[in-house]
Chain A
Amino acid sequence: MDIRYYIFLSIALFVTGIIGVLTRRNAIVIFMCIELMLNAVNLLLVAFSKMHYKALAATNPTAGTDGQLFVFFIMVVAAAEVSVGLAIIVMLYRNTRSVDINFLNRLKH
């Protein structure tokens, strides 16, 4: 499989996440779009890891392992980020009774 198809697929997923962040006002949906962008990057890392493995498997039988471990660590960090981020969103909801980000411009003042 050509690596470019994976590049284009990941670009499409990433841009979908960016459009979601730019066009939605619900903080939780924006958070989910960030998860979507993280997953697009993960998919591209795994595809590159297999490309690297195909090129170097003859000399190094574990080539490309690093890429998959990076994906693992990205998942770890994403899980921690989600637990803290959702706690912040819940706290914002308690204080403002809304998760609309247009009401959360108080940090400007």
Chain B
Amino acid sequence: MGITEILFWILAVASIGSALMVVTSKNPIFSVIWLIVTFFTISGHYILLNAQFLAVVNIIVYAGAIMVLFLFVIMLMNLDKNTEVQKGRWMRLIGAVAGGCLLLVLVAGLRSTEARATQLGTGDIGLIQNLGRVLFTEYVVPFELSSVLFLTAMVGAVVIGKRDQTGRAAVATAAATTAGTLEAE
């Protein structure tokens, strides 16, 4: 077992553990922080798979922009107290059992798939040189459409968040600013 396999197992355990902590944390702030940890471990997986561009974009966009937006909204709404009313014990149990059944079905269905190897650590398709060339030749129309999508999201966030000409539009403005930053990226 080489160093990459050991790293894979460490990252896999860390990502599943932190994903479980996202679901089980009572405080939404802790959920956000554990989700950031999950995103960092997933970025670690991307680096192991030699997809460096996606690893960096994952950290910048998800951990950097989206999660900050979540934290911002939670703090603006004073949700950082343990005020969440839990679902009943039976509802939680049923939810967990339903998810467990899905896990069981998917694992049982895919258990006997053909054992094909992925390539860890080598190969340069994940570098920005290759991805950028393909993105600006074959995928240039979806790329431009995504900028229109961002503009729509920015306008939509402002329109939804605006309240009858008075203040309180701070969150919507923050959302719009984040969308604008992402578009600039």
Chain A residues proximal to chain B, CB less than 8 Å: 1-9, 11-13, 15-20, 22-26, 28-29, 31-33, 35-36, 39, 42-43, 46-51, 53-55, 57, 62-66, 68-69, 71-73, 75-84, 86-91, 93-94, 99-100, 102
CA–CA, A55 and B116, complex, Å: 9
Interface contact tally, CB-CB below 8 A: 263
CA–CA, A104 and B146, complex, Å: 31
Query: How many residues on chain B are close to A (CB under 8 Å)?
Result: 91
CA–CA, A12 and B100, complex, Å: 10
Q: Is the CB of A50 within 8 A of B50?
A: yes
Q: Is the CB of A53 within 8 A of B182?
A: no
Q: Is the CB of A22 within 8 A of B79?
A: no
- Report which of A39, A87, A93 forms a contact with B62, defined as CB distance below 8 A: A39
Q: Is the CB of A75 within 8 A of B57?
A: yes
Q: Is the CB of A100 within 8 A of B85?
A: yes
CA–CA, A89 and B182, complex, Å: 20
- Looking at A65, A79, A93, A102, the one whose CB has the most chain B CB atoms below 10 A away is A79
List residues of chain A with CB within 8 A of the CB of B135. 69, 72
